[in-house]
Amino acid sequence: MLELANVSHVYPNGTRALDGVSLSIPRGMYGLLGPNGAGKSTLMRTVATLQTPSEGDIRFGDIDVIREPERLRRTLGYLPQDFGVYPRVSAQDMLSHMAVLKGIASAGERKATVESLLQQVNLWNVRKKALAGFSGGMRQRFGIAQALIGNPDLIIVDEPTAGLDPEERNRFLNLLAEIGENVVVILSTHIVEDVSDLCPRMAVLADGRIQLEGAPLELIAATRGRIWMKAIARAEIEDHRARYDIISTRLFAGRTIIHVLADSDPGDGFAPVEGGLEDVYFSTLAGLRRAA
Ligand code: ADP
């Protein structure tokens, strides 16, 4: 269990990137969903002990993360957002080198670890290929392999699916799902489907604060009967925006589909629709924009 209590962070330029974040994160996949600038990377780097928060407490099991960062690092696997090491070195050699850095001193153990990780992330066939020539999806799978060295109990992946095509994204998410239920895996993302596909628990972070926390299915159930949809022409959007609480718009077959949040039937051609996690997420963000 990872416990954050009242974690705040103010950068030297005065930006309050985290504002009183408290979370209990159990074992399994946990989704941290938020728009760009929400504070996700700041939170991930803080938990990964790369920066110290201005305030607050973080505990992982019996580890006091802020006071004993080296203990946390021994059990941490981290795939940062800007994992940018793609030299002209083969995947196998690079992984072996990283295993040395992680303290796997025995050559035999290192070889076995590297081989099994390359198999697990499905890069065995390209193990001798230079990382510089890898596709985006292969790089991210390599990133997961390096994060898994040493069997970490806490795995942090920061915006891992950004820039992946749908097939690569699927493959990557399946791999994450396989990592297991016995470790804490935090997936930070701005993509709603990443969370809805994978995570039994989640939080929405925006403006440095936790806006919502829970099980996606329960959060969706809480919007039941309050989401309404209507297909309109593009030209009608502004008029509808003025009259309704629009939480999302998307194009479908040349029409614009709008979703609104309302406790009772707005009439005017709206039909009830079964909400999804997107509706939960966008109505949370829309609520914040209205309050601003
Ligand atoms: P996210 O990962 O959700 O996009 P970040 O944690 O990167 O969010 O950023 C949160 C806020 O903190 C943003 O307003 C960003 O501009 C600011 N920020 C991030 N890093 C720094 C930094 N090193 N110095 C000053 N401000 C920063």
Contact 228, 272 (CB under 8 A): yes
Residues of the chain with pLDDT > 90, as a percent, come to 71
Q: Is the pLDDT of residue 17 over 90?
A: yes
Distance in Å, CA 41 to ligand 1 centroid: 7
User: Range with the lowest mean pLDDT among 17-31, 57-71, 273-287?
Assistant: 273-287
* 184-189 and 154-158 beta bridge pairing: parallel
Helix 136-148 / helix 166-178 crossing angle, nearest 10 deg = 10
Mutate which of 13, 19, 42, 159 to test ligand 1's pocket (most atoms within 8 Å of Cβ)? 42
Closest C-alpha among 87, 92, 72 to residue 145: 92
Contacting residues for 197 by C-beta, under 8 A, at least 6 apart: 173
State if residue 34 touches ligand 1 by the CB under 6 angstroms criterion.
yes
Q: What are phi and psi of 9, to 5 degrees?
A: -140, 125
pLDDT band at 84 (very low <50, low <70, confident <90, very high): low
State if residue 36 touches ligand 1 by the CB under 6 angstroms criterion.
yes
* Helix/strand/coil for 207: coil
Q: What is the mean pLDDT of the chain?
A: 92
Q: Is the pLDDT of residue 87 over 80?
A: no
Amino acid at 150: G
Write down the residue that tokens 């416990």 correspond to.
Answer: 3
Alpha-carbon dihedral sign for residues 154, 35, 252, 226: positive
How many other C-beta atoms lie within 10 A of the C-beta of residue 14?
6
Q: Is the pLDDT of residue 39 over 70?
A: yes
Task: Could you please state the CATH topology (level 3) that the domain comprising 2-216 is classified under.
Answer: Rossmann fold (3.40.50)
Task: State both tokens at 165.
Answer: 């095509």
Q: Is the pLDDT of residue 239 over 80?
A: yes
Distance in Å, CA 65 to ligand 1 centroid: 21
Distance in Å, CA 159 to ligand 1 centroid: 14
Write a three-state SS string for 32-68: EECCCCCCHHHHHHHHCCCCCCCEEEEEECCEECCCC
Ranges of each domain in the chain: 2-216, 221-291
pLDDT average, residue stretch 139-163: 90
- pTM beyond 0.75: yes
Interval 57-71: pLDDT, tens? 999 999 999 999 999
